Structure 1
Amino acid sequence: MNNIISKSCIIMAKTDDLILFAQVVEEGSFSKVAELNSLTNSVVSKRIKRLEADLGVQLLYRTTRKLTVSEAGKVLYQGAKNVKQAALEAIDAVYGYGESVTGHLKMSVPSISGDLVLAGAVAEFCSMHPGFSVDMSLENSFIDIVGDGYDLVIRTGYLADSSLIARHLIDSQWVICAAPAYIKRFGKPMTPEDLINHNCLQYAYQTTGASEWEFKGINGNYIVKVAGNFSTDNATALRKAALGGYGLAYVPKCLVYPDLLKGDLVDIFPERVGKKLGIYAVYPFSRQPPLKIRMLIEHIRERYLSIAEYF
């Protein structure tokens, strides 16, 4: 018990020192960190030594020419940088709330999230800030954010372009579902491999392929290749086909969550579907993004989290 209390006290008292330590590792210099934080070199040095003393390990090896991170320091840095990032995001989320938000913003969002949460969230944000307007496009095509002149895009999947900044909003779990009428007529697949004998409705808007359905396995995720007589790039059309009892659908859980609750659709493989994608707010790189973008992103994130059970 005393050991737990001691660790808790260290965490509470040393958050600032952890952030300072992360900066020292990233900058590779006490003097640079001292300048960034308006401190003296000796203060930075004392705070790092105090952190080392509290933890009982050496974090840095210091010479007149070089600063080297110890093995313990490397381990601590992985957590310390997360503390630093969380602090920056918390500050960024509320920075400038006393200022007015005006101007115009062009954004693009995927159709499922647009219908479910984003249309209402963005319209609400505009009503909260007179003088601010948004042109929001609901589309599933992959756009050129910078080339097409977008200020903000909501994306599901992975961020490949390093010239863009992404803020994680929530994770989207996928499910495989079918109507009770389909199950009554054709039976319920008991294993993922049974899907090869079923009509699998295919969602063409997928980065991994409409016919490649991902599952969790003992040795990691694996793919089952499926086939079916209906494919579409429209999520609403796919949902309607599944509700009509025409086949099994592999879709984001948020699309069919109310249908699952009502029993109009059945979750075929709960806990076994391997596909889970992050939903991100993405915008062009800038050292300090505009206030209107920061505040809108935070508003959108809160709305996602308010219905987290859908995802």
Structure 2
Amino acid sequence: MRNTDDFLIFYHLIEQGSFSKAAEQVGLTKSVVSKRITRLEEELGVQLLYRTTRKLTLSEAGEVFFSHAREVYLSVQNAEDAMSGLGESLSGSIRITVPTISGELILPQAIAEFSDKYPEITVHMDLDNRFVDIVEEGYDLAIRTGVLPDSSFIARRLADAHWVICGAPAYFERRSEPKTYQDLADHNCLAYSYQETGATEWLFKGPSSPFTVKVAGNFSTNNASALRRAALIGQGLVYVPKVLVADDLREGRLVEVLQHQVAKCLGIFAIYPYTRHQPAKIKLFIEHLYQCYRQHEDKF
């Protein structure tokens, strides 16, 4: 098996563009690096580089070898990054931006547990339903729900949020439970306006693809907690993430209807910028969030 150093020396040589700079990176002399590359070519039986006084050019074989050298370097770097935080002093602050509904449910408990483990780390959580530029506004990470646009950010899936339709027992004393989506025409459907499909368009499963149904009601809001309260007092039906009403459904304060017909399910992600040397506190915090969401998976 070839010595890993051969790959690393070759990687730095190409990245730096000169033997002297590569030598500085790997802690060897320029002459030793030159001899190692010459020996490498002899052992492989191919020419990896075309050398001139002004630059180094890769041969076809060199291109192939460099692609593998880069993979070796990244693997070593990732291993070092993973270990680098283990001896760090875990202190400082973490800034996180989250949608209102996330900030009112699982996250407060998750953050409290994290603070118990790492009391020297301060977590600043801002609740905001707008699309926040986390780099421009100085956040370490964001919690986002739905289909993510292509970007240079890293996304860690925390959970899949299924949506439900439900109402209070008091409401069903006045109106019979709907059996199909067509029955919703006879119901007061309260609207949650903070959703991408529209406040009065509810998503259902179809034979080949989901479809939306236009509903109507006498109340709409962009605040999930207010919508839940309206449902609890019997004002009408709501179409909301299950996690918002999971305890109410379990305790019988709300009753789920059309359970197997509702189609909406959105991913919940922790989003953060790519950086080669991500602080250990951020890695630990994201992993902690993931484990907390896993523990509450039944609520989603």
Structure 1 residue 163 displacement after superposition: 3.0
Structure 1 residue 38 displacement after superposition: 4.8
SS at match of 1:195: helix
Q: How many residues align?
A: 236
Query: Residues 124-166 of structure 1: CA distance to partner in whole angstroms, max 9, x if unpaired?
Result: 2233224321111123232222222211111111221513221
Shift in alpha-carbon separation, 1:89–1:125, aligned structure 2, 3 A:
farther
Alignment partner of 1:296 is 2:300: no
Hey, what's the Cα distance between the residues in 1 that align with 2:182 and 2:84? 51
Whether the aligned pair in 2 keeps the contact of 1:92 and 1:294 (CA below 8 Å) is no
| Corresponding residue for residue 148 of structure 1 | 137
SS at match of 1:285: coil
Alignment partner of 1:217 is 2:251: no
Alignment partner of 1:111 is 2:100: yes
Of 35, 41, 60, which residue of structure 1 is paired with 2:69? Answer: 35
> 2:232 is aligned with what amino acid?
L
Hey, what's the Cα distance between the residues in 2 that align with 1:304 and 1:90? 26
Shift in alpha-carbon separation, 1:138–1:202, aligned structure 2, 3 A:
same
Hey, what's the Cα distance between the residues in 2 that align with 1:151 and 1:279? 17
Hey, what's the Cα distance between the residues in 2 that align with 1:137 and 1:276? 24
Alignment of 1:253-264 (within 5 A): 253-264=242-253
Whether the aligned pair in 2 keeps the contact of 1:153 and 1:281 (CA below 8 Å) is yes
Alignment of 1:65-80 (within 5 A): none
| Corresponding residue for residue 110 of structure 2 | 121
Whether the aligned pair in 2 keeps the contact of 1:106 and 1:136 (CA below 8 Å) is yes
SS at match of 1:270: coil
Structure 2 residues not aligned, in runs of 5+: 1-62
> 2:204 is aligned with what amino acid?
F
**What is the RMSD computed on CA atoms of the aligned residues?**
2.6
Query: Residues 212-271 of structure 1: CA distance to partner in whole angstroms, max 9, x if unpaired?
Result: 100111111110011111001111110111111111000000010111111111111112
- The structure whose Rg is larger is 2
Query: Residues 186-221 of structure 1: CA distance to partner in whole angstroms, max 9, x if unpaired?
Result: 211111122122110000111111111001111111
Whether the aligned pair in 2 keeps the contact of 1:106 and 1:134 (CA below 8 Å) is yes
Q: TM-score, normalised by structure 1?
A: 0.69
Structure 1 residue 94 displacement after superposition: 7.7
Shift in alpha-carbon separation, 1:184–1:130, aligned structure 2, 3 A:
closer
Query: Residues 90-126 of structure 1: CA distance to partner in whole angstroms, max 9, x if unpaired?
Result: 9988873443322222111223322222112123223
Q: TM-score, normalised by structure 2?
A: 0.72
| Corresponding residue for residue 190 of structure 2 | 201
Hey, what's the Cα distance between the residues in 2 that align with 1:210 and 1:134? 33
Query: Residues 33-90 of structure 1: CA distance to partner in whole angstroms, max 9, x if unpaired?
Result: 5313559xxxxxxxxxxxxxxxxxxxxxxxxxxxxxxxxxxxxxxxxxxxxxxxx999
| Corresponding residue for residue 237 of structure 2 | 248
Whether the aligned pair in 1 keeps the contact of 2:81 and 2:276 (CA below 8 Å) is no
Structure 1 residue 31 displacement after superposition: 1.6
Alignment partner of 1:178 is 2:167: yes
Shift in alpha-carbon separation, 1:308–1:89, aligned structure 2, 3 A:
farther
Q: Percent identity?
A: 51
Whether the aligned pair in 2 keeps the contact of 1:259 and 1:265 (CA below 8 Å) is yes
Alignment partner of 1:271 is 2:260: yes
| Corresponding residue for residue 84 of structure 1 | none
SS at match of 2:234: coil
| Corresponding residue for residue 165 of structure 1 | 154
| Corresponding residue for residue 232 of structure 1 | 221
Shift in alpha-carbon separation, 1:97–1:271, aligned structure 2, 3 A:
farther
Query: Residues 171-193 of structure 1: CA distance to partner in whole angstroms, max 9, x if unpaired?
Result: 00000001112122121111112
SS at match of 2:124: strand
| Corresponding residue for residue 12 of structure 2 | none
Whether the aligned pair in 2 keeps the contact of 1:94 and 1:295 (CA below 8 Å) is no
Shift in alpha-carbon separation, 1:94–1:198, aligned structure 2, 3 A:
farther
